[in-house]
Structure 1
């Protein structure tokens, strides 16, 4: 079955880069883009990073903050098209780069939030290691990343889902994702790192 990565619409605004990125099979993570994929006969596996740009700004090493509480558009589309949801979690991904400290309320975070509101994504001030040294650079740190795939959440098609339908499925999704993290964090993650759903 065909799989497509959904990414920020801004990725498709830059001439040249747009064609390169689109040639990988990626699509814009917009309602229109998702409906185009989900409406195809036989279906297309649509890979969505639900937290998106706001989640990329979280750099706390003691907590992994997932932006999920207000993200319910993908739930509504799943119900309308009757597509199953499959929770996944990438252990180690949050630690392959460091970030300039940007706690909530700081000047750096306010600038990032402002730019995100204007252009749809925020500049993440990150750092990694160098090619020939490990102190500073743009190459990712050598950390393993393990992707864990959960059990599919079966979704019955509802042409016009109610708020109750959306809330119920959203709760199930968050619950399954939390269970996935709790089960596999001791194996592939760090027991001292807490999962926070915001």
Structure 2
């Protein structure tokens, strides 16, 4: 087995190696709103669900190359609210367009061709095309040096496309119909349609 000591690698090469092996990573298309009411939409693949009771998600955010915070970071700090829009295969190209660097105060929504609709519990809107939206409030921000931070958000509401709810009483969701995508290394992605079932030893 080939081993790489990260102390011997540049930060860029270490990041490249990490993102190529920690896969697939779910993608959060995060919508926030600034003080002028402009909606920002940005994708992040350093994202996951990390806790329940209460339900929590985590975002890994990085600053711009010049060290200034990205709009997502700034908006979450100011408003303490954000929406994680879960990305399906149909949204992939538009999600990718949201990674285009834009000047502060310019929205990615019209550039990508997305539409937004009001959230249930918070001010930032959700993306209408998303199969699922997690409305979150900021719980904690951890600053990892000058350019990186971890945002932990408490999930206040989950909205799921009607057709995906197979059993509302048991909260069964159609995972095949959900058709989420995950980030691999470089410019590659995977879908969640190739699945298999494996029972836990404790029967749960």
Q: Which category of TM-score, normalised to the shorter sequence, fits these structures?
A: under 0.3
- The structure with the greater share of residues assigned to strand is 2
TM-score scaled to structure 2, two decimals? 0.26
Structure with the larger helix share: 1
Normalising by the residue count of structure 1, what TM-score does the alignment of the two structures yield? 0.26
